Chain A
């Protein structure tokens, strides 16, 4: 599987430097990067956001995103041919013809108003000079290769008519259409669910085998790299800090940054503490090592009780046609005890966010009951909502978007305190400072607006805002999904400390099972608007009862290079 680098690499990058002309003069974005890619090799390019990995790959084919950017030095040689000085026409032949690209977000990279098949045959027409009919036949053949079930018909569909996974397949088909030697895959699976991610990664590896492709796989996820690549290059701040064979990098990282990266990865501890869990699944007596279990034994009443909850949205239909509904939640029942930390996992569209919002009375309920500390949202909506607003708070996914961009962090917090009136107006500034310290933010940041903060800082501010109400319940909806792994680890730690010290009940929603495994006592697995499995974390992860849960767990790319990436059986996922 691991090919040794050929003596004469297919692609050779030397001292590549990209600069940007700005108002304050020139800045270097890619700083003297050197890389080699052998034929048939998969090179993993790893780094966090802003490390320059995407820009590097664009620079290879000279598709810099702005005219202010320029290749300032170095060379890119493709099979001995220099690309940095090639003519426009030559580059057009290289792009697609020799180097194909796959992008992170297939939804935005596929032309929404052009049929998928036409986008595949477009490159065929330009590179292979085929006529329309022949190009179409070629495109259909490639679509079949990448896993379209009915390519002849699907040729005429538009991108939005496909799921995310199929769109990424289409993107791959577009890149493969002209039979390139090198495939650059820029975060090809980041926007996808784990099970789909596994399928796409497998597809890439198959293609490599079948076509002898060389692949540069850009990703932030070390797990993905561990499961797929031959060699790894770690990037940080525009430069490559470390390159080497996969096993060598993962097992004996040299650079401290690589070490930090590996340490932050929320790997699934395979055997760790599995033995500690016994079979009793009663929720009342959980002695977890993470939480000090502050639950008063005499208060068995659940804080939140959800009973056969249904949420439906109308889709389509009109005057003449019958209205049709989409069931986001199809009968969910769940109890959350005070002081518990519950993780809700599931893939996109499984209804986990809807559940979170319905739980807090933020989504209209079609049927069923939500009870908050004994008050029913159905029976006494006004009073229950009022209580919820005072005693529960939410933390959101997008750290920037969850804070009003016009308010400073201080203003955001102060407003909450003022509205809730739990703190005397004169004491507000002090309380704001206290809250910021609680989430380990420098109080000096209070005067900044969200845009002037990093994602991690914003997320801390978001948590501080949730804490400002002095809540008993915090619902965190995918609150680390948008963050880099090192930041993710810090936020998860913060949550763990807060839960431990503040008598909080936490509902933590995530698609990343590893994080939930780390943080939560109990896990709830959702699929298609229903709960398919729930139970103590350790037990569910160790011995999943449902095939779906098992598939979900198996699809997580582990950082351990020896663990095989399992593609879940299609029967479990198709629905």
Chain B
């Protein structure tokens, strides 16, 4: 109803969300400039230092500066969130669009495939892929893409099923537009709104999956600074050095908060509910 009014003026929710994301993005871009220390530099004499002026967020068990690691970690985590969402989004959108548009056998086969993947224990896939391809971000992305597309495919398929009966879709067909044109120029742009909103909560999911994999011992390669792995590694020192886990943990929470806000605001703007 108020869609037109909402698009004209950015909602405060969106502004705060974008502000948070922008702050982290800025930190990531300017990491070498603003980080007070080298994120992998170990200072043997400064292990497990509590927050101080020299180290605002304290140091870890190697004497590395937590603040600097969080700033550099923003690079990895934002990249994880972006790539971890991008490929599932693209693949899922494409497959979902095909299934919804063509229906019939294509749809039946793809839907069974989706059922299988949904029923497949995520962890088996995650750990297997990482084991098969070797640990590292690219394996993580591949595993996320293999599983993550399903949600998008389902969302898009449902949307396309509705939209393809819309008058403008029928009109496009009746005007002799080719199938790819109808699908990709007319239906898809109108169908992706829900998925774009979902992207934001998915980004949170990706970050948390990365952290969970780190907890199980397979994540980003050391000594790379990444928030999830910092939390996981810091757990060993939970009771004596709370700052090792707290600050990267908070970073995840705040970034997730930012993503959620953006998702909420986009959803409101596009009239989409999850």
Judged by CB atoms under 8 Å, the answer to whether A and B touch is yes
Interface residues of A (CB under 8 A from B): 22-23, 357, 360, 362, 386, 388-390, 392-394, 396-398, 401-406, 415-416, 419-420, 451, 462, 465, 468-469
Cβ–Cβ < 8 Å partners of A393 in chain B: 174-175
In the bound complex, do residue A389 and residue B166 qualify as a contact, i.e. CB atoms below 8 Å apart? no
In the bound complex, do residue A401 and residue B168 qualify as a contact, i.e. CB atoms below 8 Å apart? yes
A396-B170 in contact given A23-B5, A419-B181 (Cβ < 8 Å): yes
In the bound complex, do residue B167 and residue A465 qualify as a contact, i.e. CB atoms below 8 Å apart? no
In the bound complex, do residue A451 and residue B170 qualify as a contact, i.e. CB atoms below 8 Å apart? no
Question: What string of 1s and 0s marks CB contacts (under 8 Å) between B156-175 and chain A?
Answer: 00000000001110111111
Cβ–Cβ < 8 Å partners of B172 in chain A: 404
19 CB contacts below 8 A, A to B, read A23-B5, A357-B170, A360-B174, A390-B176, A394-B170, A394-B171, A396-B170, A396-B171, A401-B166, A402-B168, A403-B168, A404-B172, A404-B186, A404-B190, A406-B190, A416-B175, A420-B176, A465-B175, A469-B176
Least CB distance, B3 to chain A, in whole angstroms: 8
- The one of A386, A392, A419 in contact with B177, judged by C-beta atoms closer than 8 angstroms, is A419
Least CB distance, A430 to chain B, in whole angstroms: 20
Cβ–Cβ < 8 Å partners of A396 in chain B: 167-168, 170-171
- The one of B5, B168, B174, B178 in contact with A404, judged by C-beta atoms closer than 8 angstroms, is B168
In the bound complex, do residue B176 and residue A389 qualify as a contact, i.e. CB atoms below 8 Å apart? yes
Question: What string of 1s and 0s marks CB contacts (under 8 Å) between B1-43 and chain A?
Answer: 0001100010000000000000000000000000000000000
Question: Is B189 part of the contact surface with A, judged by Cβ < 8 Å?
Answer: yes
In the bound complex, do residue A469 and residue B175 qualify as a contact, i.e. CB atoms below 8 Å apart? yes
**Of all chain B residues, which has the CB nearest A392?**
B174
C-alpha spacing A388/B173, complex, angstroms: 11
Name the 4 nearest CB pairs between A and B, nearest first: A389-B176, A402-B167, A396-B167, A394-B174
In the bound complex, do residue B177 and residue A451 qualify as a contact, i.e. CB atoms below 8 Å apart? no
**Of all chain A residues, which has the CB nearest B186?**
A404
Residue among A397, A401, A404, A469 with the highest chain B CB neighbour number at 10 A: A404
Cβ–Cβ < 8 Å partners of A389 in chain B: 174-176
Cβ–Cβ < 8 Å partners of A392 in chain B: 174
In the bound complex, do residue B175 and residue A23 qualify as a contact, i.e. CB atoms below 8 Å apart? no
How many B residues have CB within 8 A of the partner chain?
Answer: 20
C-alpha spacing A389/B171, complex, angstroms: 10
Cβ–Cβ < 8 Å partners of B9 in chain A: 23
**Of all chain B residues, which has the CB nearest A360?**
B174
C-alpha spacing A462/B177, complex, angstroms: 16
C-alpha spacing A468/B177, complex, angstroms: 13
A419-B174 in contact given A404-B186, A451-B4 (Cβ < 8 Å): no
C-alpha spacing A22/B5, complex, angstroms: 10
Least CB distance, A103 to chain B, in whole angstroms: 18
C-alpha spacing A390/B176, complex, angstroms: 7
Residue among B167, B173, B177, B190 with the highest chain A CB neighbour number at 10 A: B167
Cβ–Cβ < 8 Å partners of B168 in chain A: 396, 401-405
**Of all chain A residues, which has the CB nearest B5?**
A23
C-alpha spacing A397/B168, complex, angstroms: 11
In the bound complex, do residue B166 and residue A419 qualify as a contact, i.e. CB atoms below 8 Å apart? no
Cβ–Cβ < 8 Å partners of A415 in chain B: 177, 185
Least CB distance, B102 to chain A, in whole angstroms: 14
In the bound complex, do residue B167 and residue A397 qualify as a contact, i.e. CB atoms below 8 Å apart? yes
Cβ–Cβ < 8 Å partners of B167 in chain A: 396-398, 401-402
Q: What 14 additional pairs, Cβ within 8 angstroms, besides A357-B170, A404-B190, A469-B176?
A: A23-B5, A360-B174, A362-B170, A362-B174, A388-B176, A394-B174, A396-B170, A398-B167, A401-B166, A402-B168, A402-B171, A415-B177, A419-B177, A462-B171
Least CB distance, B107 to chain A, in whole angstroms: 15
Cβ–Cβ < 8 Å partners of B185 in chain A: 415
Least CB distance, A10 to chain B, in whole angstroms: 34
**Of all chain A residues, which has the CB nearest B177?**
A419
C-alpha spacing A397/B9, complex, angstroms: 32
Least CB distance, A53 to chain B, in whole angstroms: 19
Least CB distance, A34 to chain B, in whole angstroms: 29
Least CB distance, A363 to chain B, in whole angstroms: 10
C-alpha spacing A403/B186, complex, angstroms: 10
**Of all chain A residues, which has the CB nearest B168?**
A404
C-alpha spacing A396/B171, complex, angstroms: 8
C-alpha spacing A398/B176, complex, angstroms: 20
**Of all chain B residues, which has the CB nearest A68?**
B2
C-alpha spacing A416/B173, complex, angstroms: 11
Cβ–Cβ < 8 Å partners of B186 in chain A: 404
C-alpha spacing A362/B185, complex, angstroms: 19
Cβ–Cβ < 8 Å partners of A419 in chain B: 175-178, 181
**Of all chain A residues, which has the CB nearest B175?**
A416
In the bound complex, do residue B176 and residue A386 qualify as a contact, i.e. CB atoms below 8 Å apart? yes
Least CB distance, B132 to chain A, in whole angstroms: 38
C-alpha spacing A469/B168, complex, angstroms: 16
Cβ–Cβ < 8 Å partners of B176 in chain A: 386, 388-390, 419-420, 469
C-alpha spacing A357/B165, complex, angstroms: 12
Residue among B170, B172, B176 with the highest chain A CB neighbour number at 10 A: B176
C-alpha spacing A401/B168, complex, angstroms: 6
Least CB distance, B188 to chain A, in whole angstroms: 10
In the bound complex, do residue B177 and residue A405 qualify as a contact, i.e. CB atoms below 8 Å apart? no
Least CB distance, A377 to chain B, in whole angstroms: 14
Cβ–Cβ < 8 Å partners of B177 in chain A: 415, 419
Least CB distance, A545 to chain B, in whole angstroms: 34
In the bound complex, do residue A362 and residue B175 qualify as a contact, i.e. CB atoms below 8 Å apart? no
Least CB distance, B129 to chain A, in whole angstroms: 36
C-alpha spacing A468/B5, complex, angstroms: 33
Cβ–Cβ < 8 Å partners of A405 in chain B: 168, 190
**Of all chain B residues, which has the CB nearest A385?**
B176
- The one of B166, B173, B178, B181 in contact with A362, judged by C-beta atoms closer than 8 angstroms, is B173
C-alpha spacing A392/B176, complex, angstroms: 10
Cβ–Cβ < 8 Å partners of A420 in chain B: 175-176
C-alpha spacing A80/B181, complex, angstroms: 64
Residue among B4, B168, B172, B189 with the highest chain A CB neighbour number at 10 A: B168
C-alpha spacing A69/B185, complex, angstroms: 39
**Of all chain B residues, which has the CB nearest A395?**
B171
